[in-house]
Structures are given as C-alpha cells and as structure tokens.
Amino acid sequence: MAQIVTATKNRSRGITRLQGTFTTHTDGVVTATAIGSAFGRVVAVEYDPVSGTAGATTVDTGADISLSNNSGAAFLTLTNAGVNAVRVRPTCIPVTAAGAAVTPGAGYNGTMDVYVAGPIKLAVAQGGSGKVGVVTVIVDEGDANDL
C-alpha cells in the first residue's frame, strides 16, 4: 500500500516581532521560557532592562541574558547586560562537519546570519530578585515566493 504525502506551503508572516517581558525570581533567574515561535532570519534583538514599566526596578548589572532556539542551543548570550539597553544583530561563525571554524576568505567576513525554526526561549541568570526587563526578537520570515 502506497502512502501519499501532499506538500503544503505555509505563507510567511513577513517581519515578526516577538517580545517577552520577564520578572526574575528571588534567586535572580528566569528559566528558559518560550516567548513565541518564528521561522526565518533573526535581524535584531533588543534588550531593555526596565522598558519604562511603572514601579519596575532595573535588572542587576551582572545579568546574563540568553536566547535559544527549539534545540536549546543559544544563538545569543548577552553577558553582564544588566542596566544598559542593547540592540544587536546576532550572527554566528560557521563550522565544518568536524566542528572547526571556517576560515574567512575573499569576500567573506567569517560570520553568517542566524536562522530560527520554532520556539525562541529566553533565560536570565544573575538578574537580581524581582527585577523586570524586556527582550524583543525581530525575525524576517519573508519568502521571495510570496511576492
């Protein structure tokens, strides 16, 4: 008996903005928690230690903010992010099958875009007790075939 699989195409959502507001536990930690799902290239990550929230206290200076994909592998870690707002475009260093970094060459600067497929998780360490912050991830889910 033959099985039939019908391919379907999901329409992209264009630019997707996922935002997670966190409050640290008394031990200063936020365990890895999904802030949403996206499928595409990460074009920006913004971190705001208080985001103007009334009565909120600034995240501690030594706070480490980590974003990971559905496999649990971190695609961005902001070490000692703490009290300063940050906007970055994450990239990664490609590796060979053996795990060695690919050497930059002519026309290649040594980094690649970060792509995600599924839930994006936020984790915080050393953030202080009951501190509030906001992390926004902007993903380009655009597809040339959607035009």
What is the pLDDT at residue 13?
75
The residue ranges of the chain whose pLDDT is under 50 are 144, 146-147
- From CA 65, how far away is CA 92, in angstroms rounded? 17
Q: Which amino acid is at 121?
A: K
What is the pLDDT at residue 147?
42
Do strands 86-88 and 30-48 pair parallel, antiparallel, or not at all (unpaired)? Answer: antiparallel
Q: Where are the beta strands (DSSP E) in the chain?
A: 15-23, 30-48, 64-68, 74-78, 86-88, 91-92, 112-113, 115-125, 132-140
CATH numbers and ranges of domains, the chain:
19-96+110-142 (2.60.120)
C-alpha closest to that of 126 among 80, 87, 85: 80
What is the pLDDT at residue 136?
94
Read off the pTM: 0.81
- From CA 76, how far away is CA 39, in angstroms rounded? 16
What is the pLDDT at residue 119?
93
What region does 127 belong to: left with phi over 0, alpha with psi -120 to 50, or beta? alpha
| 141: β partners | none
